[in-house]
Homo-oligomer: A and B are copies of this chain.
Amino acid sequence: MSTTAGNGHPPPRPHFGDRLAAAVADRESQVVLGIDPDPARLWPNAVERSSVARAHLATTLSEAENAAGGVREASDAPARAGVVSRLEAAAAVLAHCLALIDAAAPACVAVKPQLACFERLGAPGWLALEHVCAHAREQGLLVLADGKRGDVPVTAAAYAQALVGGVPSPFGLVAGLGADAFTANPLLGLDALAPLVQAARAHAAGPFVLVRTSNPGAADVLDLELATGERLWEHLAAQVAGLGRTGQAGLADVGAVTGATEPRHLARLRELMPATPFLLPGIGAQGGDVAAIAPAFAPGRAGGLVTASRSIANAHESTDQAPPAAARAEAERLREQAWNLA
């Protein structure tokens, strides 16, 4: 067959675990740059950057708003108060995110935009998100869309189209964000995870399923003891392990969010999910300690992705460096620390 490799075997299908392992090796980094922009805490220079383009963005999006009002054919269009402010805010957020990516990219393997931070700016915020993703890809970074989506199967399939696929329409296929990975919530059960896992696999992307988060309140539900004696997070971990398929690099194509603020859990999580890539939030602003997460790296360096957001973006607040230099230094410090552990 023409599709077989020289050795007679079919060429391997692209696999998220293999892509992830290759990216980590290539960039010599396990650092995932969290992008959680707060419009009230943007880098000053970033806010001032690209003012002409920002004004253009504001004008054209404003026209689009009016056009959408025309579609509604409403005689009393809703108050447009705040329309300009959100366009300006979205443009400033975009400029900030691009500067943050440019500063930290050399030390990172991926970006993790926090969808909530873009959604709160409405349609212009979603447009900014799309451009953040495109810019990160241009810098050679993977994109991990952090939305923690989860819903009944028919809706989960729509989220999958938004994140990694596309939706057929009378006007052609409408592509979604095109993320390389995304976070997912497992509360609704396996049939609700299935459309996300299937769509991710079809695009060689990776879902990272919440197993144990890093907030104190995670004890309220995820730490509940089941009748079997397991904790709920142990049950979820076993489910996640069952969903993944292990690739040639020894990593599964379904990951897990495993909060690093409970390092005593990590050995158990690794036992339950031997090949699963772990996304480790909780470093930096959330109080985690990078040295405590070594068990995550058992299946290789790409087995533990170290996420940091505010500790990088706000690094300048505790140094006398400018924001980009401070961000780059902090990302590089984290990169080196994790790389030497693994």
Contact surface of A with B, Cβ cutoff 8 Å: 36, 38-40, 42, 47, 50, 52-54, 56-57, 59-61, 63-74, 76, 78, 82, 84-86, 88-89, 91-92, 94-95, 98, 114, 116-117, 119-128, 130-131, 134-135, 137-138, 148-156, 158-159, 161-162, 166-177, 185-194, 210, 213-222, 224-227, 229, 232, 235-236, 239, 281, 286
Which residues of chain B come closer than 8 Å to A187, judged between CB atoms? 185-187, 210, 221-222
- Do A167 and B121 touch across chains, with their CB atoms under 8 A apart? yes
Q: A186-B187, A187-B210 are in contact. List 19 more A-B contacts (CB 8 A).
A: A39-B167, A53-B67, A60-B60, A60-B64, A71-B98, A76-B138, A82-B173, A86-B175, A88-B169, A89-B170, A119-B159, A120-B162, A123-B126, A123-B127, A152-B215, A188-B210, A191-B215, A226-B226, A232-B232
Which residues of chain B come closer than 8 Å to A119, judged between CB atoms? 126, 158-159, 162, 176
Q: What distance in Å separates the Cβ of A325 from its nearest Cβ neighbour in chain B? A: 20
Q: How far is the CA of A176 from the CA of B50 in the complex (A)?
A: 25
Q: What distance in Å separates the Cβ of A11 from its nearest Cβ neighbour in chain B? A: 25
List 28 contacting pairs A-B, 8 Å CB cutoff, sorted by A: A36-B154, A42-B170, A53-B73, A59-B67, A60-B63, A60-B67, A68-B127, A72-B135, A74-B134, A85-B169, A85-B171, A86-B169, A86-B171, A88-B171, A89-B174, A114-B155, A116-B151, A116-B158, A120-B176, A150-B185, A185-B185, A185-B187, A187-B210, A188-B222, A189-B215, A189-B221, A224-B226, A227-B227
